[in-house]
Chain A
């Protein structure tokens, strides 16, 4: 591991933290009284009997008036979950590519490898979350003895598993992402088939690790904010949104680079295929999101419905509708036609829209725990979101400039280059 490489994102993160502190100095001063108040974990967090539905333990004590650290922590968590999507989307893109022995996607796998390797700066970015864990996850400061739902889940929801599992999974994710790129770069030099076989083996065990580990990490980071909640499909829900975002981003990168550095290997057909996949995941996300809602709505069990009841209060209702229309209907209808998948006036704004919608989705999942009465945007939100995204963009771009622009000697490169039959509508339009 190149330590210098690890250091850069760390410096940027420290700079971001400094910026956050500076901009929030007045808030901090005003909150000083509250801070001392909330630092006592025993205060107001553990009523003797925890009921489902109406009281959700410590989350209620948050509702009164979130402290400076809580506000910062939740904004940072939302931004972190948004950014984690790029790395996890990149990893699964590579796993699928190698498992299917795909030919068409060869010109863009180098881009996916760089996206996957963003897991390293994200591992550094995990540290502030671990430091702030008591502030962000209310159940960490509650005794399982006083909370039934926590008691039955304490096998997973305890401090040791929480920290141990996060660190372990992030290390393995690093191992998967960097080995994919290492094999690919080694193949650039000698063109040996062994590197493809190694990558295929990695993808083989990688997919079995990826599914459960993503679900566990998302349960710990996102779902356990309201630890009484049950949803088996929750990890898949995050995964669907993540790959959706990654495909939109890959489409944008491929579209931009296909007329520049990647011109010799990337043709409209492959870019079109990425848009088709983006379209497929627009539907897949909606399918998962609707299934989760529909099953919980139909069963009407209080342990599950309270999660949605919280998200129908105040302006969270409107945010939910924004997701329904913005995350599904608008992209779905926009991508339905063959020719719009290559239309810049449609696809350009749609990529930025996808970023905004995925961030809104993360906000919808995280923030109602803190802001009970409706959407509440603080200065931390844009700062964390844009700051963390900018750091990742910088990491991606320096990787992109540093290495060969596509997998130079991939055995299926020739197949990919000749795979350029152009959809009829494009030639007709030209």
Chain B
């Protein structure tokens, strides 16, 4: 690898580094992007298009780049779709092109180009039908998409920062800086997001003078002033979307995920001054490597000292092409011709552009007015260009290796427009600007249609001052900066060169998605005339491109094909994010184990240390079983359930939601919330209670304990605690406002250990402090009393969810482990959720499987509770006729007819007469070690009587099991064990 001559640019240093692209090593200078270094090394072919696999080179120099997307790194930790124009090279970096096999230069899938006619707009709706889509699916999936997904995501955690400020300014070009300075001078707290690594925007190229000094000097002074005023300037940071009043900005210094930050910014007011994106002009073969945006060529030259070609033809529709030509020629490139689509009279005599043109002509540059580039010649790169007069005349060829196009500028509104704000057509731009500014969002500079430096500065200053006032800053914004730079471009609309219909297949509008003029014509012919429909049918502006280079251009071509104005056609909306970001960045900290927050009980560490196999239940982590009791969940659960039935066990019930309801109106409030009355309970007594939604469906169940005349403890399902707190608070605030009742979540204030089984009372009495043994020993079913263990206060409730004699021990978290271990020492064994499920299904008790939001009290066998006549929430709608129809479900028990066959929750229950018409479904099923058979609970149509034989059909898991319907309580229906 020989070292090429040192380049000089504003963004590169003199230190050399090396990188690899498609397996080959190249030199680069510190500060080079992948794009600038490859160009400097003479590499022009950088990718293949997604549909036809056509060769593609660079179009732009920034976030608008649709072609040069690279895989960075190696599998399994490869990062796909990284834009070469934003990727800052580091020593040893390995890059690879995408969408090609076996190589970028020779790609077999490029044979698809031969079938270009078959792959026109909407081809996937019309082809691959016979014999079946499945025949082609595998091949198409291999060909489709951009890049390769990483097999393993080892990207480090993205940093997140929440920011609040008075004024957010997006863009630190002249308008953005003027806005920020005005707002900061007025006393506003300002945050500036600039997508480039340095501030200044177009000042970097155009120069000009501001307030009597060079633009560069003004830039330095303004940045210093902003810093002194406390403004925060975030470079390499792009606002990628808005989310109501919150703006999401993404900082990715160096363009490579891994050191990125997501900002969530809540400003009081915002100035959108993100500039404008240059748009191409469409002509035949305009996708060849060597066809680039004019502004991109200037950027590569200024920033990186990279010449984009040796012999240039410039193709544009505005005055600024002449200033650019002069700068590019001064940079050492030969400008062969300037092709101006405007007539010879477009240049005002004596204007700067006119003078420049004359000097260029004198220097031997051919300046063609009222001409257009008809096509680019060359396969793997541009070798010549064919130009023709627009008003008739034969085309001719001009030798060149690069065609630089500029069809005007489209304001960069995407970052602030994902919310769907309206846009208005701006004739001087032949593009769209924001239709209106609001108090919280203003637009400035070229994003607002001001392309001249002086106008952009004035516009930015005014927007910043108004935004500061909107944010209640009361200071004085000062005087607007005065500037002069490149004059007005005096643009005349021109979107595409003339072409014969057959050639329109090679006139590319969206380079990333291979959308051509022919595709738009097909879409129109097939009835898709609205720009949004055309976008979806043709894939115009989808994917990571999101219309940055194609949206306005596509709309302009569509307008031409429809014979309408661009204003009438409008422009399609883009989707966030404005710039591609990794899913990892969007996920934030919700990845891996942290995908959902987890709650842990005071006994969590004990469970982990003693083989408890934890699983999430709602947000809670709970032991499913203990590995010492069996090699797998099934065996362990059977052993644990058998232990409870024959001796006794303990389970961690701390996850039960616990709400303390207090105040003189607490009893009345609970009477309103629950189906049965709390006010009739005596202190020291508990009750199983059910509450309903307003529509009469059962919401939750649990025990309610009366702690005092004006104080209750309501327990809820484990995964339901937070929801039930909201439910209680909602009705307390809405219907009980001002009444004497409060609701306090005490879930974490009480650990709960459930001791169950025939020996649990003996074990408990061993553990309790002596004074409490007698009263607790006499405790009746559903009664509770105070107790203590090792001097720590307990609340002991005799209640059962297993059908066994059982006690709930409520203790403070600090004493939970000691109590748990004391119970183990007293002969009880720990059991997990699998065993809990076996025990409760044997007894016919309910969980969320049955309380699924679609069941009424009648469905669940709770008619007796309804008959108590409490006029509670949801009671009024229980009388709806639909709740009493014969097809409503009811809770039943099921048993396998042969006793041995396994059936699972979710299986559909059908009759022999109607095997395709489900009569209900299995809600829960377990293997019962006590009854030595598979049994379950189900919700079954009421007209299916007990004793009926049904089929539990489970086609997805491949089982059909004959079952018969029984009562829901399979074990100890008289409840002698738990009440004895």
Whether both chains belong to one complex is answered with no
Contact residues of B with A, CB < 8 Å?
none
